[in-house]
């Protein structure tokens, strides 16, 4: 006959086994990102020896063509350029138009972002000229049609000023939901900021920025870009970081553009793209993966990406000659395309 202690132990074991049998199965972890890279697709023009690098691309696909805006760097400083092509294989031969020949004008212009603001039926080009600036056009295919730049803020907010009183803010990025437009940017010192304005007031009325992420300088550096993941209630933010293998991108997600932003699981340092997970066909031409943009599913201010299609990211790659010393403005940046090669944390969100 069982004693009372044995009976209690068997009953407890039975309860534990029953609980285990009915427990929900563990949620599978999405596989990490993996990419393949093209060769360099956009280089400095052969007939413009003063341009040493092309970088900071932004891209939309409209009317059967890719429209790409970028920073040019070289002996004359930082400016912007535009190119367009129907197929990726046509990109190396596509001519560059220098936007200082448009009403955007000469002077420091860099780090563009382009999108179509549907409520006003206008294309917006966001860029930095020290402070955040914007120009507009009704025809993205005509690079001479951009308006003269205008500022988002009458003066730099105190929160972005450093000890010498100068503003430390760069790489400005706009994305809108149904009611607000949000301005994101970084400061090269480990802070990621957000400001907002009602969508009916855009491009005016932006609030005082607030810090939404704060990490070490090298872990949250610059070149943020944020997207709506189509068919979900999720947003994706990418921010460039620095590591032993060069620049790389980290990924965060949120249910609202206001945050909170949570690191995307699946890889150390919530890795999105970098030397560790990008493979090259032929020569490994790029040191790391730096400032770039995902190819979007549409053109408007919601910046949607399609999780049901392979992700493509147009990036600036650093194609340096071994042993050569470069000044920062002389760095030989080229534009290349990485394409996701398998399931990843974004593709697992596809509802089809």
Report domain extents, the chain. Answer: 30-349
What pLDDT band is residue 75 in, cutting at 50, 70 and 90?
A: confident
Whether the pLDDT of residue 37 is over 70: the answer is yes
Coil, helix or strand for 217? helix
Whether the pLDDT of residue 166 is over 50: the answer is yes
* CA dist., res. 118 & res. 346, Å (int): 26
Class of domain 30-349: mainly beta
Label the pairing between strands 278-280 and 35-37.
parallel
Is residue 127 within 8 Å of residue 109, measured between CB atoms?
yes
pLDDT at position 8 is 42
pLDDT at position 117 is 98
Whether the pLDDT of residue 21 is over 70: the answer is no
Residue found under tokens 């009602």? 198
Which token pair is 126? Answer: 């966001």
What pLDDT band is residue 22 in, cutting at 50, 70 and 90?
A: very low
Task: Please compute the mean of the pLDDT values over residues 140-162 and round it to a whole number.
Answer: 97
What pLDDT band is residue 164 in, cutting at 50, 70 and 90?
A: confident
Tens of pLDDT, residue by residue over 78-133, are: 999 999 999 999 999 999 999 999 999 999 999 999 999 999 999 999 999 999 99
What pLDDT band is residue 30 in, cutting at 50, 70 and 90?
A: confident
Coil, helix or strand for 119? helix
Determine what percent of the chain is predicted with pLDDT higher than 70. 92
* CA dist., res. 131 & res. 133, Å (int): 6
Q: Is the pTM of this model over 0.85?
A: yes
Average pLDDT, whole number, for the chain? 92
Whether the pLDDT of residue 7 is over 60: the answer is no
Is pLDDT larger for residue 266 or for residue 3? 266
Whether the pLDDT of residue 19 is over 70: the answer is no
pLDDT at position 281 is 87
Name, in order, each residue with C-beta under 8 angstroms of 141's C-beta and a sequence gap of 6 or more.
63, 65, 67, 84
DSSP assignments along 277-296, one per residue: TEEESSS---SB-EEEEEPP
pLDDT at position 163 is 82
pLDDT at position 1 is 41
Tens of pLDDT, residue by residue over 272-315, are: 999 999 999 889 999 999 999 999 999 999 999 999 999 999 99
Alpha carbons within 13 angstroms on the beta-carbon side of residue 263 total 14
Whether the pLDDT of residue 205 is over 90: the answer is yes
């Amino acid at each position: 006959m069982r004693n009372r202690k044995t009976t209690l132990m068997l009953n407890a074991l039975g309860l534990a086994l029953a609980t285990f049998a009915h427990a929900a199965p563990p949620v599978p972890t999405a596989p990490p990102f993996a990419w393949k890279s093209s060769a360099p697709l956009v280089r400095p023009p052969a007939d413009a020896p003063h341009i040493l690098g092309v970088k900071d691309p932004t891209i939309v696909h409209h009317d059967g063509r890719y429209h790409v805006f970028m920073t040019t760097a070289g002996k004359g400083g930082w400016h912007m350029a535009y190119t367009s092509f129907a197929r990726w294989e046509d990109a190396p031969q596509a001519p560059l138009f220098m936007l200082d020949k448009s009403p955007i004008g000469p002077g420091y212009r860099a780090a563009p972002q382009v999108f179509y603001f549907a409520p006003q039926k206008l294309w917006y080009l966001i860029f930095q000229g020290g402070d955040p600036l914007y120009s507009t056009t009704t025809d993205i295919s005509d690079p001479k049609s951009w308006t003269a730049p205008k500022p988002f803020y009458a003066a730099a907010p105190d929160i972005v000023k450093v000890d010498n009183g100068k503003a430390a803010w760069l790489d400005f990025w706009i994305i809108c939901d149904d009611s607000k437009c949000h301005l994101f940017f970084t400061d090269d010192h480990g802070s990621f900021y957000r400001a907002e304005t009602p969508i009916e007031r855009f491009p005016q009325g932006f609030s005082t920025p607030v810090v939404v992420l704060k990490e070490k300088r090298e872990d949250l550096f610059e070149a943020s870009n944020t997207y709506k993941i189509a068919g979900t209630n999720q947003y994706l933010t990418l921010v460039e970081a620095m590591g032993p293998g060069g620049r790389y991108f980290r990924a965060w997600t949120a249910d609202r553009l206001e945050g909170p932003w949570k690191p995307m699981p699946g890889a150390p340092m919530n890795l999105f793209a970098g030397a560790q997970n990008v493979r090259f066909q032929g020569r490994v031409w790029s040191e790391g993966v730096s400032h770039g943009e995902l190819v979007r599913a549409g053109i408007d201010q919601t910046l949607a990406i399609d999780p049901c299609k392979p992700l493509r990211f147009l990036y600036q790659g650093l194609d340096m000659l071994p042993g050569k010393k470069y000044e920062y403005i002389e760095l030989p940046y080229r534009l290349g395309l990485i394409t996701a090669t398998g399931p990843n944390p974004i593709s697992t969100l596809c509802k089809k």
